Amino acid sequence: MNNIMVCVTKQKTCQRLIDYGKKLRESDDDQLFVIHIAKSDDSFLDNSEEGEALEFLYEKARDAGASLTVEKSDDVMKTLIDIVDKNGITEVITGQSGEKEDKDSFLNRLGEYLAGKAKLIVVPAHS
């Protein structure tokens, strides 16, 4: 059984990541988790655009047979790692970062943590 975690932002382009995760499901036993981590001071209810973006993510997750989790945290790495550990995640899907790729980049640090636990799949911006 695979437990696949798709890390998304509030952008509608994240649908491609959810679709990618859905394609990785090999059986009905595989679980798909769509995760969005928001900063602690983000307010969704006061911003109609963010509310619409979350509704869009919810609909896309539901259509893919996934659960959508929105967490508030100022330590995104720790929160993702906790979710990986708690749910026995086997594959983590993220979009390509605009961040310069070096040993201290977020994706490299995440990949180092996941080594031996889960496979990190970085989907290019134009896939």
In this prediction, residue 46 carries a pLDDT of 58
Residue 7 has pLDDT above 90, yes or no: yes
In this prediction, residue 52 carries a pLDDT of 82
3-state secondary structure of 45: coil
pTM: predicted TM-score of the whole model, two decimal places? 0.88
Is 104 or 19 the better-scoring residue by pLDDT?
19
Q: Is the Cα torsion angle 70, 72, 77, 78 positive or negative in sign?
A: negative
In this prediction, residue 101 carries a pLDDT of 67
124 in Cβ contact with 52 (< 8 Å): no
79 in Cβ contact with 71 (< 8 Å): yes
In this prediction, residue 48 carries a pLDDT of 67
Lookup: tokens for 92: 């983590």
Alpha-carbon distance of 16 to 6, in angstroms, equals: 10
In this prediction, residue 5 carries a pLDDT of 97
Burial class (CB in 10 A: 0-12, 13-18, 19+), 66: buried
Query: What is the tens place of the pLDDT at every residue in 83-98?
Result: 999 999 999 999 987 7
Q: Residue 21 is inside which H or E element, if any?
A: helix 15-24
Query: What is the tens place of the pLDDT at every residue in 16-64?
Result: 999 999 999 988 899 999 999 988 777 655 566 777 888 888 999 999 9
Q: Where are the alpha helices (DSSP H) in 31-75?
A: 48-63
**Residue entry with tokens 């640090």:** 109
**Mean pLDDT over all residues of the chain?**
87
Lookup: tokens for 106: 């977020």
Residue 124 to residues 16, 52, 55, 69, Cα–Cα distance (Å): 10, 25, 24, 23
42 in Cβ contact with 8 (< 8 Å): no
